[in-house]
Amino acid sequence: MNQIDVSFKLNGQWVQVSVQPGTLLIDLLRDDLGLTGAKAGCREGECGACTVLLDGEPVNSCLVPAIKVSGRDVVTIEGLASETAGLDPIQESFMLEGASQRVFCTPAMILNARALLNRLPDPDESEIKLALSGVLCRCTGYRKIVQAVKTAAKMRGSRP
């Protein structure tokens, strides 16, 4: 089958790749580009483990054809920290609050939290729970995760 060239911004850098028409974004990221932070869970849009940010909004990358990201901005968990600024405040707060006990859902939780705080810098608990509701967590529950998002909001507020 003919490959299609796709160029898009990935974690701040433009990349160009050739993909099969049916390739999904989750597979492009994990298999071709070596970014394994987004997890392949249900592959049906149910668990949220495959979350990435597409133009700043969380999406299930298992439902997004890779060709649909052409010209757009994709951020994975690998792109959240920067060499100059260090960890994102949400990554720091997840460690502080002990909210990152499970590797499988944590990247998706953090990306959903980042999108929320970009939109609402000081969300209340119900807004946090709603923003995280698309990601299933079967281990620790959401209490520490919600607290981590609150802490991140405060940390961000204390920065210049």
CB 149 within 8 A of CB 123: yes
Cβ proximity to ligand FES: between 41 and 89 the closer is 41
Task: Kindly state the helix (H) or strand (E) to which residue 143 belongs, with its residue range.
Answer: helix 143-157
In the bound complex, what is the minimum distance in angstroms from residue 26's beta carbon to ligand FES? 6
In the bound complex, what is the minimum distance in angstroms from residue 116's beta carbon to ligand FES? 18
In the bound complex, what is the minimum distance in angstroms from residue 107's beta carbon to ligand FES? 12
In the bound complex, what is the minimum distance in angstroms from residue 6's beta carbon to ligand FES? 20
Q: Contacting ligand FES (CB under 6 A), which of 48, 79, 107, 123? A: 48
**Rounded distance, CA 108 to CA 134, Å?**
9
In the bound complex, what is the minimum distance in angstroms from residue 70's beta carbon to ligand FES? 20
**Rounded distance, CA 67 to CA 7, Å?**
9
State which residue has the least CB distance to ligand FES. 62
**Rounded distance, CA 26 to CA 51, Å?**
9
Other Cβ atoms closer than 10 A to 87: 13
Cβ proximity to ligand FES: between 58 and 89 the closer is 58
Q: For ligand FES, how many residues bind (rule: CB under 6 A)?
A: 12
Cβ proximity to ligand FES: between 45 and 71 the closer is 45
When asked if residue 50 is in the footprint of ligand FES (CB under 6 A), the reply is yes
Site for ligand FES in 14-43 (CB under 6 A): 40-43
Strands (E), 20-125: 51-54, 57-60, 73-75
User: CA gyration radius for the chain?
Assistant: 16
Structure tokens at 76: 């994975």
Site for ligand FES in 57-96 (CB under 6 A): 60, 62
End-to-end CA distance of the chain: 52
Point out which residues bind ligand FES (CB under 6 A). Answer: 40-43, 45-50, 60, 62
